[in-house]
Amino acid sequence: MDERELIEYVTRQRWYGAKSRAVTHALVLDSIVLRTSEPQFALAVVELSYETGTHDTYQLLYMLREGELELDGLDEPQLARELVSAMRSGLTLHGAEGILEFRPVEGFAGLGRELSEARPVGTEQSNTSIVFDDELILKAFRRLEAGINPELEMLRFLTEHGFPNIARLGGWYQYSGGPISATLGILQQFVSNGIDGWDLALDEIATAPDAFLGRLRRLGAVTGTMHTTLASDPSDPAFSPETPSVEALGLLTATVDEEIERMFVDLPEDDERLAPILGRGEEVREQLRMLAPAASSGKVIRTHGDYHLGQTLWAGDDWVILDFEGEPARSLAERRRKRSPLRDVAGMLRSFAYASIASSIVRGTEAPDGWEEQARQQFLAGYFETVDPSLMPSGPGAVERLLAVYELEKAVYELRYELDNRPEWVGIPVAGIHRLIEQANATR
């Protein structure tokens, strides 16, 4: 491959994640042929180096047709089918540096099907996904990090432990033994009749708000069952529940406190949308200090890590939970870290706050008075009916305080994001921070 052509190709892609950095060098670390007959298919592990001295590693799939190199091969459905076929047969291939392994999940019925129609999912930013016959979906991870991808690890654990509310794992492929050992992609059941949870919320706030509240009780129950399942195997060190350390608590509160201080210093004083929280940074930090001791109880477990309505589907008459990769901006090690399950809960509660206001911004429909509070109540009722209580801090007061810490963390992050990217949405995190301040004042 021509180095300049390779750099230009990779840096143009949606899944390229370092658009603000200048690439100085590109190197093919390894290349493995998937099929030798015409057209030939191959997979390359490519390293891009930056002027900062850092580098990223990417998965590239390509083809040779009549002697011409074509990037990117996943635009060709035949190559995508070749990857699924390799999983079906449990193929192992050797490159110059490492080994490419394809592995099926035993008993997964979808691997026995003949695949005809293949279409790309065009909305993804960091990965490439191909849907086959509205029954299977192949996700190729583009930027590679050493170690097992949380999506594969979590889906495999939940599948093996019988949790039903996921798109079942069908297989995966991975590279090892060379310059990096990493998960390259997974195959899952495709939920063809699913409705995105965020879209459903906006639709039903406008047409049937009470119906959606009823669904949220079930979502809470599914979430509680998910957390209980993730904490159910003490023999697996990657998933066994642990008691959080004092150091972990200190790191959590110090990180949030630092972000609060930095954010309030930079808030524009002439923006009336920020009026409810302007000049109240010390109140927020004081609240954090009061809430923090609650985090010393309960357990930390593996969690979803990026939990909100957009990570759910309503399919038939139940919820399906998606996308277990965690927050894409965090490192793989951070995404695999055990945390309180209440962090997932806080993410979902913040999603309800967004839905109640976004209904007006996006759809021009005001949510009924009290809808967000009712949504919180329904979800939490379903959650605490099913979650293993040993994972929680002892007593409802401690649970509420720890949940408030995570909601505060989330709302502070949201405020920074909206100020930078969607100024018209700033009022949503402002309302959340203001509510948390007032709740703390009311309980003093």
Three-class DSSP labels, 113-148: CCCCCEEECCCCCCEEEEEECCCEEEEEECEECCEC
426 and 287 in one domain?
yes
280 and 158 in one domain?
no
Cα first-last separation, the chain:
66
Burial of residue 273, with CB atoms counted within 10 A of its CB: 0-12 exposed, 13-18 middle, 19 or more buried:
middle
Give mean pLDDT in consecutive 10-residue pieces for the chain, a chain of 444 residues: 91 87 94 91 95 94 86 83 93 95 87 81 81 93 94 96 95 95 96 94 94 96 98 97 79 80 82 87 80 70 97 96 89 91 97 94 92 97 97 87 87 88 91 84 64
* pLDDT for the residue numbered 283: 82
In a domain, 338, yes or no: yes
Q: Please give the model's pTM, rounded to 2 decimal places.
A: 0.91
* pLDDT for the residue numbered 202: 96
In a domain, 386, yes or no: yes
202 and 145 in one domain?
no
| Alpha-carbon gap, residue 401 to 404, rounded angstroms | 5
Q: How many domains does the chain have?
A: 2
199 and 93 in one domain?
no
Distances (CA, A) of 22 to 10, 52, 388: 12, 8, 49
- CATH number for the domain spanning 335: value is 3.90.1200.10
285 and 323 in one domain?
yes
Name the one residue in this structure whose structure tokens are 């949308």: 273
292 and 178 in one domain?
no
202 and 179 in one domain?
no
420 and 363 in one domain?
yes
In a domain, 325, yes or no: yes
* pLDDT for the residue numbered 244: 82
| Alpha-carbon gap, residue 60 to 46, rounded angstroms | 7
To the nearest 10 degrees (0 to 180), the angle between helices 342-363 and 197-207 is 50
In a domain, 260, yes or no: yes
Final residue belonging to a domain, choices 164, 189, 214: 189
75 and 179 in one domain?
yes
Q: Which domain holds residue 150?
A: 21-189
In a domain, 367, yes or no: yes
In a domain, 240, yes or no: yes
Final residue belonging to a domain, choices 162, 189, 216: 189
| Alpha-carbon gap, residue 380 to 344, rounded angstroms | 12
Final residue belonging to a domain, choices 189, 205, 237: 189
306 and 179 in one domain?
no
274 and 344 in one domain?
yes
Neighbour tally for 191: CB within 10 Å: 19
Q: Name residues whose C-beta falls within 8 Å of residue 244's C-beta, 6 or more positions apart in sequence.
A: 295, 296, 298, 299, 300, 340
* pLDDT for the residue numbered 440: 67
Measuring CA to CA, which residue among 360, 361, 422, 355 is closest to residue 199?
A: 355
211 and 185 in one domain?
no
Going by their DSSP bridges, the two strands 194-196 and 118-120 should be labelled as unpaired
In a domain, 15, yes or no: no
In a domain, 8, yes or no: no
